[in-house]
Structure 1
Amino acid sequence: MPVTAQEALRITRVLEEQLLQRQGDITVWNEFYRGKSERLAYASDRFRAAFGGLFAGFSDNWCQVVCDAPAERMTPLGFRFGSGVDGEPAAADREAQRIWQANGMDAWARIAHTEMMVKSRAMVLVWAENPDDNETEPEITVEDATQCIVAYEPGNRRRRKAALKLWDGDDGYSYATLYLPDQIWKWRRSATVSRLILPSSATVATWAPREAGKLDQAVIDNPLGRVPMLELVNRQRLVDPSSPEHEQVMPLQRAVNKLVVDMLVAAEAGAFPARWGTGIDLPKDPRTGQEIDDPEMWRLSVSKMLRASSPDAKFGNFQAADLRNFVTGVEMLIEHVGALSRTPPSYMTGKLVNVNAETLAEGAAGLVAKTKDKTTFTGETWEEAMRLAFLVKGDTQRGTDPLAETVWGSVEYRTEAQHVDAVLKKKSLGVPWRQLMEDLGYTPTQIDRMEAMLEQDATRAARALAFSGVDDPGVLGTTTGAGQDQPVPA
């Protein structure tokens, strides 16, 4: 049901306030992923004063590895709709593949998955590229979680109630678009009003239609009948909020940074063995008779030699600081990072030598299982995005198809020989050819191309076979005629 301008403005205020409440957490998560947010701990204030500024920008960043490991394995290859024709299994939809490729989603989907891991969610907006054109083409864009928010109906997390996109223009205005199931409201306000400083009552009151004084032009109809913005959510929960992939390893990241910095400080202060000397007669000032303590005399180098005239003089050096204790602590923390995030040892250390394929596969089992779970939830969002894309084109059959399915590439890393061997074993069980090609990781477009090439090869082979059976008087042998073998004259 259409809402009034006052109600649309109220919804905008509520969603904006909720979006602002997320900014602090998202900023911290993103900074940890980038290795920029470090609060190094020191044992004392004097230690901080001496070394705190020396390693202010240091980070031995493992959060990026934890987030990228599952994201890089999630590759949508295409989409299926319906249950097939005349009992045949449904093939990947060619029109869906064309829409996906036209929007560059092979690349943008990877960005969306990384954003989802880092910021706990990423947004996908589906709208018409040219709304006023009769031949509308769907436009799919990936949106940032700091600019967008989606609201759901109370008690139903599957039904989107509204969505808001908020951004700053380069013309001195901030812009907001409110997406409702049947309306789209467009607002703007002066960018000099900072929504991060003023209270919500003062901030949102400045929203006005984008065309000043034209409230009727601030709203357009939404022909899709659905909120066109979707959420890719990481670690979906029923009641608790979603979380980024590296949230539980952030404290360990701080500890790793602390130990590595301590090791560097120890290397600077104690790794070079300090020397000592006893029984040394220092030179005296002939005028005062006092010993001269010249610091330059104790600055040692490879070109200097220690010498003393006293027979009681002795020289020696203290033992250098042992840094192996720090290395052991850092390695232990990194092992904990891998265990908590289910990141394989091959990602976390470079010490793997002569490890066979079975051991590597066993080490990656946790990451594979975790990534498969993510494709299940993320696939539902991509399917809804593709349904919206068909609704933009006016295709209600595929736009409302509950049997839509995302075709994913394999989340397991195997050698080419292992992969082909597994596919050959599936073939012996009767798995269809197209499914085998999907298991090999080919896209629907590549499979269609290979299928056409196979048909061409079969046609050429049939022609060659037919040509070899034509009577040729210059060839000795027999040919078939009238159902009987007839001699061929020389």
Structure 2
Amino acid sequence: MSAQEALRITSVLEQELDRRQAEITLWNNFYKGIHNLGFASDRFRQAFGGLFEHFADNWCEVVCDAPAERLTPVGFRFGTGDEDDPPAADKDAQRIWQSSNMDAWSRVAHTEASVKARSFVLVWAADPDADEVEPEITVEDATQCIVAYEPGSRRKRKAALKRFAGDDGYEYATLYLPDELWKWRRALAPSGLVLPSSLALERWQARGDAPTQLRIDNPLGRVPMVELRNRPRLTDEPTPEHRQVIPIQGALNKLIADMLTASEAGAFPARWGTGIDLPKDPLTGQEIDDPELWRLAVNKMLRASNPQARFGNFEAADLSNFVAGITLLTEHMAALSRTPPTYFMGKVQNVSADGLTVADAALASKCRDKTMFLGEDWEEVMRLGFLVKGDEKRGRNPLAETIWRDVEYRTEAQHIDAVLKKKALGVPWRQLMEDAGYTPTQIGRMERMLEQDADRAARALAFPAPGEEPDDEAEEDVPESAGAPV
């Protein structure tokens, strides 16, 4: 491909990336609690000024984090197509996953997709010049990356672009194609901000003078960037987890602002008095309305010379109506987002274990759906990792499978009880351990421990009990390294 054609593709992807920026910024601000205070009344601003300038009772963060915290890949399998040879968790895949710290960064990828509708994962060689090339997996941000697909396909990646600002006054971009990579740079605006492509100071230029800094061969034969989509649709764009509750979040903020205003203006009982002879100015003869007259304290009291004088106070404002409205909106937010009400409650009272399980069922079901789509994306990431290592067999294996930790919340007693019942049905030991929540690394370690325990038991049985004659044949079978009984 010519440099001119590569620039054309870069420009097209840039324009679409620019179009997404406004929505992503809005979604991210609501997640972080940076909400627009346009709902606040003038009286609220007069009462509090800038005291609550950044106020937000932020539930969008809870809605986004609730599913993300349950999505944990723990391993990968690569099938052989032989039904008589069920595959175990792939140890090489686990090593690739661990070497890139993906136990932690996969959680970040899921959270970013939950907040910004998309996140991206890039797979490339950690050190292309090393004797043994190892893959490196990195999580990329939706404001910097975009993936384009072949016409009519939602899986076949045609191109990808990553654009970011450096700290040296330049903006950088890399165009990823199935057979090549193109690297560009251009000067940043004086403020250091990344401008939209239509307002850029200059066109993209090669990163350096050497040709290898402009174009690089892609030995993988695939675009090495994978898009993780949240709530994917057939024709509509993916959406963040809190998209449908953003209007409710605004209404909640308004109700709480109104409640704060009412608490400032009417939560304390105002006093009144009638038939009181106010002191008069001896020069003008006008009554003096002394504010100190009504500043009461523990050591002060009101008195009047007029026997008809009366004192009293108005009732304080009732804030319970605001609380009821806030509770109603919070319940609607929980229902729309399928987030258990317990996530929105400060305390749980008179709720049985079965009730908690039912409340959690909607979120668990949503998370299981997410594992199906995200599992396909992580499998493609791992295939790319093996292609980097030159392993064509696993790099192009369509029978890959992502192993997920159980997304359903259960107590330890409930969890183990379910495993024991599966054991009674004849479920194999390794599958029981996976259902119990152990990772492939833990299961492999336990298998070795079981073998060691069995070996110790066999050596112990080879020695005679006290008072018995030794068995010559048993002595011949005992290895010299067995030593004393364990």
TM-score class normalised by the smaller sequence: over 0.9
Q: Distance in 1 between matches of 2:84 and 2:354?
A: 39
Q: Per-residue displacement from partner, 1:341-400 (whole Å, max 9, x unpaired)?
A: 000111111342242221111011100000000010000000000000000000000000
Q: Which residue of 1 aligns with 2:387?
A: 391
State whether structure 2 residue 305 is matched by structure 1 residue 270: no
Aligned 8 A contact 1:84 1:91 in 2: no
State whether structure 2 residue 202 is matched by structure 1 residue 223: no
CA gap of 1:131–1:481, structure 2 versus 1, over 3 A, is: closer
Alignment match of 1:434 (pick from 430, 436, 439): 430
**1:52 Cα offset (Å):** 6.3
Aligned 8 A contact 1:193 1:203 in 2: no
Q: Distance in 2 between matches of 1:346 and 1:123?
A: 31
**1:302 Cα offset (Å):** 2.5
**1:466 Cα offset (Å):** 1.4
The SS at the match of 1:149 is strand
Q: Distance in 1 between matches of 2:471 and 2:197?
A: 93
CA gap of 1:8–1:267, structure 2 versus 1, over 3 A, is: same
The equivalences for 1:383-462 within 5 A come to 383-462=379-458
**1:9 Cα offset (Å):** 0.5
Alignment match of 1:26 (pick from 12, 24, 27): 24
**1:41 Cα offset (Å):** 1.5
Aligned 8 A contact 1:40 1:254 in 2: no
Aligned 8 A contact 1:13 1:204 in 2: no
State whether structure 2 residue 44 is matched by structure 1 residue 41: no
State whether structure 2 residue 84 is matched by structure 1 residue 82: no
Q: Which residue of 2 aligns with 1:7?
A: 5
CA gap of 1:314–1:6, structure 2 versus 1, over 3 A, is: same
Q: Per-residue displacement from partner, 1:1-45 (whole Å, max 9, x unpaired)?
A: xx11001011111111111111111111011011112334146x5
Aligned 8 A contact 2:189 2:201 in 1: no
**1:241 Cα offset (Å):** 0.5
State whether structure 2 residue 296 is matched by structure 1 residue 300: yes
C-alpha RMSD of the superposition: 2.1
Aligned 8 A contact 2:174 2:183 in 1: yes
Q: Which residue of 2 aligns with 1:137?
A: 134
Q: Distance in 2 between matches of 1:260 and 1:311?
A: 45
Q: Distance in 2 between matches of 1:50 and 1:129?
A: 57
TM-score where L is the length of structure 2: 0.93
Q: Distance in 2 between matches of 1:396 and 1:197?
A: 39
Q: Distance in 2 between matches of 1:289 and 1:481?
A: 128
Q: Which residue of 1 aligns with 2:61?
A: 64
Aligned 8 A contact 1:40 1:258 in 2: no
Q: Per-residue displacement from partner, 1:44-94 (whole Å, max 9, x unpaired)?
A: x56655556442211111101101110001110100001377822110000
Q: Distance in 1 between matches of 2:196 and 2:29?
A: 26
- AA at the equivalent of 1:296: E
Q: Distance in 2 between matches of 1:480 and 1:16?
A: 82
Question: Once the two structures are aligned, what percentage of the paired residues are identical?
Answer: 67
Q: Which runs of 4+ in 1 moved over 6 A?
A: 193-199, 477-482
Unaligned runs of 5+ in 2: 475-486
Q: Which residue of 2 aligns with 1:170?
A: 167
The equivalences for 1:193-204 within 5 A come to 200-201=197-198, 203=200
- AA at the equivalent of 2:444: D
The equivalences for 1:252-263 within 5 A come to 252-263=248-259
Q: Distance in 2 between matches of 1:122 and 1:481?
A: 66
The SS at the match of 2:228 is strand
Unaligned runs of 5+ in 1: 483-490
Q: Per-residue displacement from partner, 1:97-155 (whole Å, max 9, x unpaired)?
A: 01101110000000110001000011000000011223100000000101111111111
State whether structure 2 residue 314 is matched by structure 1 residue 318: yes
Aligned 8 A contact 2:379 2:401 in 1: yes
The SS at the match of 1:339 is helix
State whether structure 2 residue 227 is matched by structure 1 residue 211: no
Alignment match of 2:282 (pick from 286, 294, 298): 286
The SS at the match of 2:142 is coil
- AA at the equivalent of 1:90: P
Q: Which residue of 1 aligns with 2:15?
A: 17
Number of residue pairs the alignment of both structures matches: 474
Aligned 8 A contact 2:44 2:257 in 1: no
Q: Which residue of 2 aligns with 1:235?
A: 231
CA gap of 1:70–1:172, structure 2 versus 1, over 3 A, is: same
The SS at the match of 1:158 is coil
The SS at the match of 1:230 is strand
- AA at the equivalent of 1:70: P
Q: Which residue of 2 aligns with 1:123?
A: 120
The SS at the match of 1:156 is coil
The SS at the match of 2:149 is strand
CA gap of 1:478–1:451, structure 2 versus 1, over 3 A, is: closer
Aligned 8 A contact 1:334 1:348 in 2: yes
Q: Distance in 2 between matches of 1:70 and 1:77?
A: 16
CA gap of 1:301–1:371, structure 2 versus 1, over 3 A, is: same
TM-score where L is the length of structure 1: 0.92
Q: Which residue of 1 aligns with 2:478?
A: none
Q: Distance in 2 between matches of 1:172 and 1:61?
A: 36
